[in-house]
Amino acid sequence: MHYFKPLIPMLIIAITWALPAQAMPESFADLAAEQADAVVNISTTQHIKQGPQGLPPGFGFPQGSPFEGFNDFFRNMPQQQQEKHSLGTGFVISADGYVVTNNHVVDGADEVVVKMRDGTELQAKVIGTDPKLDVALLKVKGKKLKTVKIGNSDGLRVGDWVVAIGNPFGLSQTVTAGIVSAKGRVIGSGPYDDFIQTDAAINPGNSGGPLFNIKGEVVGINTAIYSRSGGNNGIGFAIPINLARPILDELREKGHVTRARLGVHITDVDKETMNALGLKSREGALVPQVEAGSAADKAGIRAGDVIVAIDGETIHKAHDLPIRVARHTPGDKVKLDIVRDGKNKSLTVTVEAMPDEQVAHNGAQQVDKSKVRLGVIAENLSPDLAARLRTRVKTGVVVQQVQQGMPAANAGIQRGDVIYRINGKDVSDMAGFSKLIGQFKHGDVLRVMMDRSGDQVFALVKLPKKSD
C-alpha cells in the first residue's frame, strides 16, 4: 500500500477537477412537478370482428325435421365484436393540442383517448405516423395546454442524468430517474436505429413518454426495453428528439413522411476491404452498388467509393449514413466526402424521395377511404427501370415489394412486375394507380395486366371481404 501514498494527493485533485458539470441534483421533485401536466396517458381501442359462430361441422338438425329451419339461423348468426385495449404515454408539444407518442401505441386503433393529469379525457385524432422511426402525432381539442420544452439530444453525454415520466403497467404518472448508459444504440428495430440507452426504469405503458434532461427539456421518446421477464432490467431505449423533430414537423404539416435517399447500397468496411482499397481505417460506408438514375448516380458516386462524411459529420459505420440522410428532405443538397482509389474527394448530391415513402404519400388517402389494400409498394416506371427490367411497356408502376398474405401476393404478383392495366383501364403512373385502387371495394376482383421481363402476365386479384 505504501507505494500508492504519493499518488493520493494527485488523485484527490484529479477527481475534484473531473467532477462533471451535471452533478446529481438533490431532488427531481421540481422537474416532475413542472412537467407533470404536459405528460398524458393514452388509451386505445381496436374493434375486432369475429365470424359467425354457427354449428360445428357435422352438427345440425336433419332434413325434414321441424327444426330444420334453425340450421340457417345458426349459420347466419351475426358477427361478434371484441375490443382490444392498450395503454401508453404521450406528451403535449403545443398549446393547441398536438401530442407525441409511439406509432406502436396507436397502430391499428379505432379509437384513441388522451387523458390529462386532472382526469379530463379527450378524443384524439391521429394526424400521422412514421412506423420506421416509431413515432406518431396526435391532435386533441384544447386551448392553452401545458407543453414540454424540446431540448437537444445531441448534447447528451454518457453519464448524464435523465428522468422518465410515464404510465407503467397502467398506473398513473410515475417518475423514474437514471443516467444515459449509451448513445447510438442499434437494437434491430429498423434502419434508423440510433437509440439513447438509459437505466431509468422504463416498463410497459411507458411507451411514447418523454425522457427529460435535468433542465426539464425533452431529449428522447421512450420506446423499448430489453427484458427477459417483461419488467425493467435497467436497459431502456429512447428515440433521440433531434431525430424525431423533423419527422414530427413533417407529420404536422403534411400528415405523412417523405424521406430522402441517395440511391446507393452500402455495407461496413471490413479489414480485407480496408487493405484492398488502401484505407487508413475501417470507418465509413462502402458503396458496392449505385442505382441507375438515382441521386447518387447523377452526382457521380461510383461503386467502390467509401463515404466517410456527410455535411462534415463523420460516418463511422454504414448504419450511420441512412440516419444522417433521413434528417434531410428530398431536394436538399448534401456534401459527401468520399475516398476513391485511395484519394479524398467531395461531391454534392441533391437527395431524392424514397420510392416507398412516395407510394405512402400518393396512395395513403385513397387506401384509407376504402380500407382496401393490395399489399404492394410500387414506383413509377422510368426509362432506366424499363431497360433494366427488359419490359415492352413504357408506362406503368413497378412493384418494389409484395407483402406476404395480402391479395397481391396471393395472386402471384412478384417484385419487378410492371402493372400497366387494371380492369381494362390503363395505369400510367403512381397517381393514376392510387386513384384507381381507391375506387375498388372489399370483395371486388381485379383483372391485372403486367409485364414481367417482356412477358405478358395476367392475374386475378381477389380483394378480401370486409369481414375477412
Find the distance separating the first CA and the last CA of the chain, reported in whole Å. 77
Q: How far is CA 466 from CA 112, 329, 437, 461, in A?
A: 22, 37, 16, 15
Q: Is residue 346 a contact partner of residue 336, using CB atoms and an 8 Å limit?
A: yes
- Residue ranges for the known binding site for substrate are 104, 134, 205-207
130, 134, 160, 451: the catalytic one is: 134
Query: Number of C-alpha atoms within 13 angstroms, CB side, residue 71?
Result: 13
43, 104, 160, 181: the catalytic one is: 104
Q: Is residue 237 a contact partner of residue 192, using CB atoms and an 8 Å limit?
A: no
Between CA 288 and CA 365 the distance in angstroms is: 37
Is 104 marked active-site? yes
Question: What one-character-per-residue DSSP string does 139-171 give?
Answer: E---SS----EE--GGG--TT-EEEEEE-GGG-
Contacts of 286 (CB under 8 A, 6+ apart): 266, 267, 268, 269, 273, 304, 305, 306, 318
Percentages (nearest 5) of helix, strand, coil residues in the chain: 25, 35, 40
Cell of 18: 473531473
Phi then psi for residue 159, to 5 deg, are: 105, -15
Question: How are beta strands 149-150 and 217-225 bridged, if at all?
Answer: parallel
Question: What one-character-per-residue DSSP string does 438-467 give?
Answer: TT--TT-EEEEEEEETTEEEEEEEEPPPTT
CA dihedral for 172, 138, 364, 135, sign (positive or negative): negative
Q: How far is CA 387 from CA 50, 165, 376, 393, in A?
A: 48, 55, 22, 10
Is 107 marked active-site? no
Between CA 291 and CA 387 the distance in angstroms is: 13
153, 207, 294, 434: the catalytic one is: 207
Q: Is residue 218 a contact partner of residue 211, using CB atoms and an 8 Å limit?
A: yes
Active site residues: 104, 134, 207
